[in-house]
Amino acid sequence: MKILVLNGPNLNLLGTREPHLYGTATLADIERELIGVGAELGVSVSCLQSNHEGELVDFVQAARGAVDGIIMNAGAYSHTSLAIRDALAAVSIPYAEVHLTNIFAREPERRHSMLAAGARALLCGFGAPGYALALRGLVAALRG
């Protein structure tokens, strides 16, 4: 089984970006943990990040036929991007949406996700450990 982890804008700044909100774990820390959890579960995990909406769409489209599931933290694009939502719908790959913070307890513009309706699950508010929880949950769901 292959899982793709996609991260959107500004997540490359984790560890230094507003640590009171997002914690001190870097994106590299999170990716290392996910690869380790993947090994424990017997699945291959690959990770990509982009600050550009179109590149995230390209990553999703390229995943068709290549991965079994996606863990997606589209960052701010979660709240605005019809293009990413449409790409996820077009490829028909099950995905879990992840956010480090509880988006429903944040500013009003962050309380709606364009991606949530198509997601297998939405996990938010657990910080960096939320990625591993999402990976474990998605793999369990895919294995049925």
pLDDT digits over 95-132, tens only?
999 999 999 999 888 888 999 999 999 999 999 999 99
Residues serving a catalytic function are 22, 99
Pairing of strands 2-7, 69-73: parallel
Residue 111 has a pLDDT of 87
Distance CA 61, CA 65 (A): 9
Per-residue model confidence as pLDDT tens digits over 3-43 = 999 999 999 999 999 999 999 999 999 999 999 999 999 99
Rounded to two decimals, the pTM is 0.95
